[in-house]
Structure 1
Amino acid sequence: MQEGLRERKKRQTRQRIADVAMGLFMTRGFDNVTVAEVARTADVSVNTVFNYFSTKEDLFADRQDVAVDLAPRVLRERGPGESVVRAFRRDFLDALGTRDWRYGLNAGADVFARIVGEAPSLAAKLRELGEERQRALAQALADELEADPDDLTPRLVASHILNTTRLLGDYSTRRQLAGEAWESIEPALRAQAEKAFDLLESGIGDLLAGKGAGDGHEPEHQDDEA
């Protein structure tokens, strides 16, 4: 369906407000910017801002609806015979190669992370968003598996996959925050991703098998003294 003029103008207004807000947040920090300042800079009223965004945190996470649907979409769009893990491996490596934002691998992800790190309310918002993403993927998996409501499989799989991609994104961001160039981060991140998805595919059942915690560190036994 073709977008009408009214819908296009609303979408453009929403995007302009979000872009203005992000520019202010990046320059001055989230907690140092008010919604009134965003409205004034975007040349709209405060009420208009709140017509599009329920909270100030929503101004920062303006693509949250898209972000929540990303994981279910990967599941829906997997190829014939492609497993869930292989679909996410393919999608993550594609994002890595193109530096797409969907896994936090884009240029500027370090700036985004720094703003979040300085604003507790934003950190809480993103945790909430992460939980929502996990629920959405778990529900999509449950629907495809026709799982019983008491079956933990969809939630376990969603948790394993999204925690893996989150940790890989965090690995990249930490190195960017340390001042490393993407050219040095990318090969290491790719190797870490391949290892992580291999582990998801094979499971961890054999991890440390045959190597007990005490191997090589046998305690010394002393005879009891009378």
Structure 2
Amino acid sequence: MMEGLRERKKRRTRQHISEVALGLFVARGFDDVTIAEVAAAAEVSVNTVYNYFESKEDLVLPPDEASPQRLADIVRARGPGESAAGAVLERLRQEVRGRERQVGLSPGFGRVLEMMLAAPTLTARLEGLGRRMTDTLAAELAEETGAAADDPLPRVMAWHIGSLHALVLGDVARRATAGERPEVIAERVLELLDTVESMLGERVLTYAVREGRPCSG
């Protein structure tokens, strides 16, 4: 379905507000910039900012991008013959190769991350987001596999997958704040993913394989 003029205008306005806000936050610090200042710099009203972003934190971590459904969504979308862990590993590789924002490889991310780590409300949201991702994935795995309510296996598997996801994002963050170039970070993180996969046991790598034959290509 093609994007209409109204939807395109709204998307551009939202993106403009977000970019202006991030620039101010990086320059002056998250806690030292008000919504009113963001609105003035973006040349919109305060009400317009709140129409697009429910909270100040959403300007940095919008719910549609920083979603607790992220890992569960990746697992739901996996193809036939693919396991839950395999799907997340492959998605991470794709995002790293594509230098995508989801894994923090967009230009200037290091300065954005430094700003985020200096803001207690943002670091708290990041920590909570990681826990919610793992909990949501555990519920998805339990439902898919028909596990009993007291079966710990879906939670254990979700912990493994959530931990490898956190390890990758943490390594990107460490390297970005140290000033490494995105292409260098990508190369090192791809090596890390290979190491992670080689260390995971067969039970993790073959858990919750989607039925059906994988597509040949």
Report TM bin, short chain: 0.7 to 0.9
Between 194-203 and 111-120, report the one with greater CA deviation.
194-203
Alpha-carbon separation, structure 2, partners of 1:34 and 1:120:
16
Give the structure-2-normalised TM-score: 0.81
Match of 1:138 in 2: 138
2:136 is equivalent to residue 122 of structure 1: no
- 1:38, distance to aligned residue in structure 2 (A): 0.6
Distance 1:146 1:50, change over 3 A: same
- Whether the aligned pair in 2 keeps the contact of 1:85 and 1:200 (CA below 8 Å) is no
Match of 1:150 in 2: 150
- 1:21, distance to aligned residue in structure 2 (A): 0.9
- 1:120, distance to aligned residue in structure 2 (A): 0.9
Partner-residue secondary structure (3-state), 2:65: helix
- 1:75, distance to aligned residue in structure 2 (A): 0.9
- 1:59, distance to aligned residue in structure 2 (A): 1.2
Q: Which has the larger radius of gyration?
A: 1
Aligned counterparts, 1:76-225, within 5 A: 76-202=76-202
More RCO (CA 8 Å, sep 6+): 2
CA RMSD of aligned residues (A): 2.3
Provide, for residues 11-53 of structure 1, a one-character-per-residue CA deviation record: whole Å limited to 9, x for no partner.
3332222222112112222112110001111222212222222
Give the structure-1-normalised TM-score: 0.79
Q: Alignment length, in residue pairs?
A: 203
- 1:183, distance to aligned residue in structure 2 (A): 4.6
Between 78-87 and 167-176, report the one with greater CA deviation.
167-176
Identity of aligned residues (%): 42
- 1:127, distance to aligned residue in structure 2 (A): 1.5
- 1:3, distance to aligned residue in structure 2 (A): 4.5
Alpha-carbon separation, structure 2, partners of 1:107 and 1:48:
27
Alpha-carbon separation, structure 2, partners of 1:146 and 1:100:
34
2:64 is equivalent to residue 65 of structure 1: yes
2:158 maps to a residue whose letter is A
Between 1-10 and 194-203, report the one with greater CA deviation.
1-10
- 1:92, distance to aligned residue in structure 2 (A): 1.2
Partner-residue secondary structure (3-state), 1:65: coil
- 1:57, distance to aligned residue in structure 2 (A): 0.7
Task: Give ranges in structure 2 of 5+ residues lacking alignment.
Answer: 205-217
- Whether the aligned pair in 2 keeps the contact of 1:103 and 1:166 (CA below 8 Å) is no
- 1:153, distance to aligned residue in structure 2 (A): 2.3
2:9 is equivalent to residue 21 of structure 1: no
Alpha-carbon separation, structure 2, partners of 1:186 and 1:52:
32
Distance 1:181 1:87, change over 3 A: same
Distance 1:191 1:23, change over 3 A: same
- Whether the aligned pair in 2 keeps the contact of 1:70 and 1:102 (CA below 8 Å) is no
Distance 1:17 1:182, change over 3 A: closer
Between 135-144 and 21-30, report the one with greater CA deviation.
135-144
